[in-house]
Every structure is written in C-alpha cells, then in structure tokens.
A and B are shown apart, each in its own frame.
Chain A
Amino acid sequence: MTPVVIVDNVQITYVDAGGRRFVAVDGVSFDVREGEKFVIIGPSGCGKTTLLRAIAGFVAPSRGTVLVGNVPVREPGPDRAVVFQDFDQLFPWRTVLDNVVYALAVTGRARGRAAVERARDFLRLVGIEAAADKYPHQLSGGMKQRAAIARALAIEPKILLMDEPFGALDAITRTQLQHELNRIWRETGVTIILVTHSIQEAAYLGHRVLVMSTNPGRVQAIVRTDHVEDMDGEAFAEATRRLRHLLGGEAEGQPVPAAEITRKEVGEAQ
C-alpha cells in the first residue's frame, strides 16, 4: 500500500530579519501510512512545526519533495486540515455549528440541511453537540479545541495535521483530550500527523514517533511505539523511556544506544 504522505529529503530555509538565510529543517525523509497516527517530537526550535507547515502547504521546501496522495504539495488545501495550538482558530463571529457548516459549504463538501446534519454528527463525535449554538468566546479552551477538531474532520481530509493541539491546555483537560483523540481515531480511522513536545503524549498517541534533533532540524530516529493505549502498562513506560533517552541524549550530546531505536527507518525502506 502506498503511503498517504511521502516526505523525501526535505530542506526548508528561512531568511531572518537581517537577511541571512538559515536552515530550519534539513534532509528529512519519512512516510506516513493510511490510518496511521504519526507523531513528530523534538526540542523547541527543531523545526517540527515548520515541517508540519510544509505538509500543510504554508511553506515550500527549498529542496526535496512533499507528496500527499502522490501529488506534490503546492498550496494549502482542504485535503490537509490543520488543528492549531491557538484558541483563536475558530471564526469568532460564527457559532460552533456555523464554523463547521461554513467549512463544509465553502469546501463544497455539503450544503444546506445536509451540511447542518453532517456538522451536528461531527460535533457529536467530539462530544460538544450541546454547545452547537454557542459562540467560540463562550467556550473553554478544551471545548474550542474539540470544535476545531470537529471542523477539521468534517471536511474529510486525507490527513489531519495537528500542531501541538493540546499544548495550551491544563494538564487534566489535556489528558482527557488525548483519550478522546484515540477514541475519535478509532471511530474515523483518519490519518493523523501530530506535532508535540510532550514525551508522554507522543508515546501515548503515536504508532510511530519521529524524533527530531535541532540545528538544523534532522531526523534523529523514528521510534515504533505500536500505539500503546494503556498509560499504566509496561509498553508505555518502555516507549516513554526510549523517547526520553533519545531527547535527553540529544540535549546532553550523548550517543544513543543503537539497539533501542530503528534508525532512519524510512530511509532504509526506500
């Protein structure tokens, strides 16, 4: 089966305020299979958000290719819905329901009564159907993120891109939403690429976790965690330990025991 997303030897450069060119991401290759939950983790400034934005189409790689559904990414589009960290991603002048209905109408997915019914289905899926007629500013942070997930899923994207979606939430809400995301994934089977800096989140949510090193952002390792859904189990403890060592090793400049990781898994596969 061909992967949904193929990132091949991608380099992304920025020009800073002083006019100097600097490399944010370099030589990054991986692929994401259909129905997979793929997590990208790394220290701040490693370019993980930049990488996600390249898949979304907001930034163009200076080298290499990004293919989604075997088509090169040129610009943003509804086949790659994005859920952001910021709470201001909902249209404040539309109710929660209208936010989803509008997305359906403007992308041509559904109109009129059909759009309203479909929007309600997705609000039910994320558990906020009771808040359908509220305006975003009347919602808690967790509910706003749920609404954003509903809007993103309703337009039936090929992949759901999530940029630290729970990063601005309190710890309790965050854990709740992590459970919810697993449930939503089970019910929809949607392919997810999630960027996070939380080891626990990566270990809990990911089938595979791409660990990035910094300066410039490169693939340090791709760790198979095999979707440990049980936070109390041994597999979860093992996965977090491996990720922690990888990230800690990077921070302290220590070599990482090769036995614990599958180095550049994608590179070998190709």
Chain B
Amino acid sequence: MRGELELARPRAVPAPGVLRSPWVRRALILAALIAAWQVYVTVAQVKPLLFPSPTAVGEALVRDLTSLSIPRSTVTTLQFLVIGTLVGAALGLLLAAFSITSPIGHELLSILTSIFNPLPGVAILPLAMIWFGLTPTAIIFVVAYATVWPIAISTDMGFRTVSPTLQMVARTLGLKGFRLVADVLLPAALPHLLSGLKVAWAFGWRTVVAAELVFGVAGAQGGLGWYINTARYFLETPRVFAGLVIISLLGIAVEYAFRLVEFRTIERWGMKKTG
C-alpha cells in the first residue's frame, strides 16, 4: 500500500514543512480564493450592489452576527429542519417497520415511495400553504415530507439485509416484537439508516431554505431563507452573501457531525459498507 502511494507521488514534489498538513493546504487554497475575489472586485470595479467584496460581506456577517439577526434566523431554520426531520424519521421508521412485518406493508411502502419519491418537497409547498396557511406547520410539513421517503426506503433496505444468522441468534435468545427491533434490527440496520438520514438531511435542508424564500415570515421569526430574501428586497447584497456563507457553513458542520457519528458507531464496529 505504502509503496504504491510513494510511487504515485512524483519525487520532484516533496511536501515541505507545514504544507504536509491537509488542513494547512485547504486553508491556503481558501485564502487564495478569497484573495482572488477581492482582487477581482477591486480591479474590475464591479458595482458593489451586484457583487460585493469579501470585506463588505465580512462586515455584514460580523454586524448581523453581533446584532443577533443571523443567529436568530439560524435557530429558526434549524428548528424547522430538526422538527421536520424528526417527524419524517419517526414516520419513515414506522413505515419501514410495517413493511418488514407484513406483505401489505411492504407493498404499501413501495407504492408510496414510487409515487412520492420523485415529487420534490418544494413542489408540494403550495399545497402545504393551502392546507396550513403561512404557518411554521406548513414548513415543517414539507420538511417532514422531504425526509420521510429516503429514511423509509433505506431503513426498510437495512432491515431486509440484516444477516439471517443474526436474526436466528436473536430468536434463540427469545427476542420478539419491540425488543427484537430495538435491540437487534435497528443497530444491525444502522449503516443503511445513517445513509438514509444523510440523504434526508440534504433534501430537508434544501427544502427548508427554499420554503423560507417563498414564504417570508412564518410566525414570529423568519429563518435564513427569509433573511436572504429580505436583504434582496432592500438590495443589501453583502447581507445576501452573508446568508449564503452561513448556509454553506452549516451544511459543512452537519456533514462533519455525520462523519463523527459514523466514526463513533459503524466504523468502530466494523459495519461500514465498503465501496
């Protein structure tokens, strides 16, 4: 392994000193990209209204972070996302559990997912608005809708691929019903469940931001989509950018959290699927 890696790397490029750390390399690339952005804005004299400089975006970020308008919007968006995903996950698990315990449940799940999986969450937003009005419930509904299908599909797949030997061991130990699901099937299906959650979160995240853009304020407080839309309305382009930066950073943070959970569970237990 090691020999191959060293062959693959040309000898002419020895990574000197600090450059050996991938984090240092990444930070340098990021800094170079931001610098290029600043240089472009300064040299090309673009209108700040259309394309603000990174320093202007930075100022907007700091201002709205300290004034707590970004943190408040972030909390609102995350609330919608977390509640919606929890509802979606609970329903998805129920559907998957029904699907493995009865043939009717199996057909039900496959019909429901064929109908609804191709329908993006945002597409049913107008319907949610008719049903629930401009309320947080409407947003939570679309997020739950966006997350339930990937979770149901992958959990069902996870349950179905639990090793028959492991299931026989569980039955020998006298496990049945809820105990069997909670103690054996769920942990055994965890790799599939986690990958389903990952897809669900990505769907949910896009859906919640899009819903907020369409929606404006739901209830007392607007989320990040609303924050961006308001900034656009007042032509405060640096704040639009600031909102985008926050959305991107949150996405990275959640991906990182998933990596951490995987590392502590399925990787540690040698259950991670290869390939």
Contact = CB atoms under 8 A, between A and B. Distances in A.
B273 to A, nearest CB: 13
B162 to A, nearest CB: 10
B166 A91 contact: yes
A82 B184 CA distance: 17
Interface stretch (B169-177, B214-222, B226-234): B169-177
Nearest to B168: A58
B172 A88 contact: no
A107 B174 contact: yes
Contacts, number: 65
B269 A82 contact: no
Interface in B217-275: 265, 268-271
B28 to A, nearest CB: 38
A76 B166 contact: no
A99 to B, nearest CB: 10
A76 B171 contact: yes
A135 B173 contact: no
B274 to A, nearest CB: 12
Contacts of A84: 165, 168-169
A82 B165 CA distance: 10
Classify the secondary structure of B's interface with A.
Answer: helix
Contacts of A155: 173
A92 B271 contact: yes
Interface in B175-189: 175, 179, 183-184, 187-188
A82 B173 contact: no
B172 A78 contact: yes
A56 B270 CA distance: 29
B79 interface: no
A85 B184 CA distance: 19
Interface string A69-109: 00000011110111010101101110000000011001100
Contacts of A138: 270
B168 A93 contact: no
B270 A103 contact: no
Contact of A88 (B166, B173, B174, B179): B166
Contact of A137 (B183, B187, B270): B270
A61 interface: no
A42 interface: no
B42 interface: no
Interface size class of B (residues with CB under 8 A): 20 to 34
B271 A77 contact: no
B270 A82 contact: no
B270 A91 contact: no
Contact of B184 (A88, A91, A137): A91
Interface residues of A, number: 26
B110 interface: no
A82 B268 contact: no
A135 B165 CA distance: 18
Given A92-B270, A136-B270, A103 B173 contact: yes
Nearest to A83: B169
Quick one: which of B169, B172, B184, B271 has the most chain A CB within 10 A? B172
A145 to B, nearest CB: 12
Nearest to A106: B173
A18 B162 CA distance: 25
A80 B190 CA distance: 29
B165 A89 contact: yes
B172 A106 contact: no
B114 interface: no
Interface in A217-264: none
A189 B270 CA distance: 35
A137 B169 CA distance: 17
A158 to B, nearest CB: 13
A267 B179 CA distance: 42
A103 B166 CA distance: 13
A86 B172 contact: no
A56 B172 CA distance: 8
A93 B166 contact: no
Contact of A78 (B173, B183, B265): B173
B174 A82 contact: no
Counting from the closest, the 5 A-B pairs by CB-CB distance are: A137-B270, A76-B171, A86-B165, A93-B269, A93-B187
28 contacts: A56-B168, A58-B171, A75-B171, A76-B168, A76-B171, A76-B172, A77-B172, A77-B174, A78-B172, A78-B174, A80-B172, A82-B168, A82-B169, A88-B165, A89-B166, A91-B166, A91-B169, A92-B188, A93-B269, A93-B271, A103-B173, A106-B175, A107-B173, A107-B174, A135-B268, A135-B270, A137-B270, A155-B173
Given A82-B169, A91-B184, A107-B173, 11 more contacts: A56-B172, A58-B171, A84-B168, A84-B169, A88-B163, A91-B187, A91-B188, A92-B269, A93-B188, A103-B173, A106-B174
